[in-house]
Amino acid sequence: MGNDWTERTKLVHAGARRSQYGEMSEAIFLTQGFVYPDAETAEARFIEAGEDEFIYARYGNPTVRMFEERMAALEGAEDAFATASGMAAVNAALFSQLRAGDHVVSAKALFGSCLFIVENLLPRFGVDVTFVEGTDLEAWQAAVRSNTKVFFLETMSNPTLEVIDIAGVARISKAAGACLVVDNVFATPIFQRSFALGADVVIYSATKHIDGQGRCLGGIVIGSRDFIRNTLEGYLKHTGGALSPFNAWVMLKGLETLDLRCRAQAASAAMLAEALVGHEKLNRVIYPGLPQHPQAELVRRQMETGGTMIAVDLKGGKTAAFRFLNALKIFLISNNLGDAKSLVTHPATTTHQRLSQTQRDSLGITDGLVRISVGLEGPQDLISDILSALDVGN
Ligand SMILES: *Cc1c(COP(=O)(O)O)cnc(C)c1O
């Protein structure tokens, strides 16, 4: 339905299913099981379930299906499977297609839990991993082996907002016969069309911009019908990573306003970044929408805007960073992101605390680095709050 619709229309209508009551808003089918009129129907459904036929909510549910179809339509992909969290999506997208003896090439700048899966869990099951500098296409090429099965990356990266050339990595991945899995959370489905750029599988933590109002965990894996049904579904169905129907409904409602929220948040982020460039208390302002961003040219090609996230590196390290965080009045200290509420986090002591000093150094996570997720408040209030907090301790 609606393949020729623009994204904003898909976000509101794609995948809608209506019951016999003709409800306007999507219904919450808060049921884990389904009943059959007779034994023959049950038997037939276990052989093959049709489009509108469900067996058990771990396999699928009408409300969850609406969310899956809306996300697949938005991404321009054939199918999707929703999961209980973003990490359940990452886990399933990787483990469902890998086995002992396979090789994975991964960008080294990863969300903490993604890094744990790729660095600690995969090797435990006999999968070799090579980490590369994601922005260096030659490094991806050089890492390819005859048993390379998966390329994995996040762009923009967390927390230093490096941007990886998805189309460039996709060309190398295709030539190597590998499956390119892209975690597109930071860039959002609004600003970066990873599937169209050549990714084979796209993952979201719906917990972030898709909910966008701090309520539920959720995730989704998007890809071809063949991948979703013949590789992923069997793994997820039997390992229990299914999304709750209630949470799927919250995400559906989030999608209706996703475009408006992301655009408003990105516009404020751009204003804030511009107001901070050259500030005497900062070593660096990192925002992909700034002309001085190291991948500014790629950002123009690959992303519609600079996104909703900023990172700043304060002179004076941890002491200055903590003083700044504690002086903020509107920005809340939280490791979430993509929310209506503006949030700040100090990666070195929270999200990236587990990493060694050497790893943090190689990722540019300095003691003065603060990650900023720009929300929906008035942009002038946000700018004043940041500038006042930077002034504290003069
Ligand atoms: C938050 C996040 C995840 C994990 O999502 P959860 O919903 O918290 O499980 C994965 N990747 C990135 C880039 C994230 O920001």
How many whole angstroms from 111 Cα to the centroid of ligand 1? 7
How many whole angstroms separate alpha carbon 383 and alpha carbon 389? Answer: 10
How many whole angstroms from 301 Cα to the centroid of ligand 1? 25
Give the closest residue to 105 by CA, choosing from 145, 64, 76: 145
The domain limits of the chain are: 7-256, 259-391
**How much is the pLDDT for 59?**
95
185 Cβ contact list (under 8 Å, min separation 6): 86, 111, 154, 203, 204, 205, 208, 209, 338
Q: Whose CA is nearest to atom 8 of ligand 1?
A: 86
How many whole angstroms from 337 Cα to the centroid of ligand 1? 9
How many whole angstroms separate alpha carbon 238 and alpha carbon 351? Answer: 30
Query: What residues pair up with 373 in beta bridges, in sequence order?
Result: 309, 343
How many whole angstroms separate alpha carbon 9 and alpha carbon 215? Answer: 24
377 Cβ contact list (under 8 Å, min separation 6): 268, 330, 341, 342
How many whole angstroms separate alpha carbon 177 and alpha carbon 330? Answer: 48
The CATH H-level superfamily of 259-391 is Aspartate Aminotransferase, domain 1 (3.90.1150.10)
For 155, the 3-state DSSP assignment is: coil
For 219, the 3-state DSSP assignment is: strand
100 Cβ contact list (under 8 Å, min separation 6): 125, 126, 127
Do 163 and 179 touch, CB atoms closer than 8 A? no
For 169, the 3-state DSSP assignment is: helix
The model's pTM is: 0.97
For 63, the 3-state DSSP assignment is: helix
**How much is the pLDDT for 4?**
87
Q: Whose CA is nearest to atom 2 of ligand 1?
A: 205
Q: Whose CA is nearest to atom 7 of ligand 1?
A: 86
What's the topology of domain 7-256? Aspartate Aminotransferase; domain 2 (3.40.640)
Q: Whose CA is nearest to atom 11 of ligand 1?
A: 111
How many whole angstroms from 117 Cα to the centroid of ligand 1? 12
User: Tokens 């942009």 sit at which residue?
Assistant: 379
Q: Where are the beta strands (DSSP E) in 119-200?
A: 128-132, 148-154, 179-183
How many whole angstroms from 179 Cα to the centroid of ligand 1? 20
How many whole angstroms from 173 Cα to the centroid of ligand 1? 23
How many whole angstroms separate alpha carbon 276 and alpha carbon 283? Answer: 11
Pocket perturbation via mutation, ligand 1, pick of 113, 243, 339 by most ligand atoms within 8 A of CB: 113
Give the closest residue to 102 by CA, choosing from 62, 146, 160: 146
Pocket perturbation via mutation, ligand 1, pick of 118, 156, 185, 350 by most ligand atoms within 8 A of CB: 185
**How much is the pLDDT for 394?**
59
How many whole angstroms from 259 Cα to the centroid of ligand 1? 20
Give the closest residue to 183 by CA, choosing from 213, 159, 157: 157
How many whole angstroms from 208 Cα to the centroid of ligand 1? 7
Query: What residues pair up with 345 in beta bridges, in sequence order?
Result: 371
How many whole angstroms from 38 Cα to the centroid of ligand 1? 42
**How much is the pLDDT for 2?**
65
* Token pair for 137: 């296409």
Beta strands 79-83; 219-223: pairing state: antiparallel
Per-residue pLDDT tens, the chain, 394 aa: give them.
Answer: 567 899 999 999 999 999 999 999 999 999 999 999 999 999 999 999 988 999 999 999 999 999 999 999 999 999 999 999 999 999 999 999 999 999 999 999 999 899 999 999 999 999 999 999 999 999 999 999 999 999 999 999 999 999 999 999 999 999 999 999 999 999 999 999 999 999 999 999 999 999 999 999 999 999 999 999 999 999 999 999 999 999 999 999 999 999 999 999 999 999 999 999 999 999 999 999 999 999 999 999 999 999 999 999 999 999 999 999 999 999 999 999 999 999 999 999 999 998 899 999 999 999 999 999 999 999 999 999 999 999 997 5
Can you tell me which atom of ligand 1 is nearest the CA of 90? 10
* Token pair for 204: 């979201």
What is the per-residue DSSP string for 73-137?
A: HHHT-SEEEEESSHHHHHHHHHHTT--TT-EEEEES---HHHHHIIIIIHHHTT-EEEEE-TT-H
Residues with CB under 6 A from ligand 1: 85-87, 90, 111, 113-114, 154, 158, 183, 185-186, 205, 207-208, 217, 219
Q: Whose CA is nearest to atom 1 of ligand 1?
A: 205
How many whole angstroms separate alpha carbon 89 and alpha carbon 204? Answer: 7
